[in-house]
């Protein structure tokens, strides 16, 4: 699909407000409602728009502790990676899990209620996984840019 200025604007507007009505979206990007709807449906069909979701403010739900956690594995096999990823998928504290290059294999974004809850996650979840060799925690003090806030 060719991405022109209208499609770029549609994507930006939906990124900012995925609940925007088609009429409002068409008005903002300068298209007729039917032309705008066709473009959005094409973007969805092609998988460029893969879904819509609610952005949850976890702080308002009592999750006041955020950290990025790097994890190094003790075994560097596909089976070890899959086992780690399956275990992490079961953890409510982990909001993101990325397999990365560098000195460690994984970068996690973790949110818990407080430091003690994080300590429990660190010790009883990550610390109990046989594939984990190293854990390094980077506590978030402030987020000056976060597209999911």
Domain total in the chain: 2
14 domain-assigned = yes
CATH number at 14 reads 1.10.10.10
Are residues 72 and 120 located together in one domain of the fold?
yes
| pLDDT tier at 2, thresholds 50, 70, 90 | confident
Structure tokens at 139: 């506590």
Please tell me whether residues 63 and 135 are part of one structural domain: yes
Does residue 124 share a domain with residue 62?
Answer: yes
70-111 pLDDT, tens per residue? 999 999 999 999 999 999 999 999 999 999 999 999 999 999
Question: What per-residue string of b and e applies to 1-10 under the rule 16 or more CB within 10 Å gives b?
Answer: eeeeeebebb
More confident residue, 55 or 47: 47
* Residue range(s) defining the domain that contains residue 72: 58-139
Residue 140 neighbours by CB under 8 Å, 6+ apart: 66, 67, 68
Q: What is the pLDDT of residue 67?
A: 98
Give yes or no for residue 124 having a pLDDT over 90: yes
CATH number, domain with residue 70? 3.30.70.920
Q: Which residues of 91-114 are buried (b: 16+ CB within 10 A; e: fewer)?
A: eebbeebeeeeeebbbbbbbbbee
Query: Are 65 and 117 in contact, with CB atoms under 8 Å apart?
Result: yes
* Domain co-membership, 40 together with 75: no
Pair 116, 65 in one domain: yes
> Per the domain annotation, does 53 fall within a domain?
no
Segments of the chain assigned E as strands:
65-73, 94-99, 106-112, 132-139
Do 24 and 95 reside in the same domain of the chain?
Answer: no
Strands 106-112, 94-99: pairing is: antiparallel
Domain-located, residue 145: no
């Amino acid at each position: 699909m060719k991405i022109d200025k209208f499609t770029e604007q549609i994507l930006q507007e939906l990124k900012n407000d995925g609940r925007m009505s088609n009429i409002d979206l068409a008005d903002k990007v300068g298209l007729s409602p039917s032309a705008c709807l066709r473009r959005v449906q094409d973007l969805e069909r092609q998988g460029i728009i893969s879904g819509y979701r609610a952005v949850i403010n976890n702080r308002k739900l009592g999750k006041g502790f955020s950290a990025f956690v790097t994890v190094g594995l003790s075994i560097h096999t596909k089976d070890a990676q899959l086992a780690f990823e399956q275990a992490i998928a079961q953890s409510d504290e982990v909001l993101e899990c990325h397999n990365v290059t560098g000195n460690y294999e994984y970068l996690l974004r973790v949110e818990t209620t407080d430091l003690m809850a994080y300590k429990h996650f660190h010790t009883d979840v990550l610390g109990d996984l046989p594939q984990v060799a190293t854990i390094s925690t980077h506590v978030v003090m402030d987020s000056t840019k976060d597209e999911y806030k």
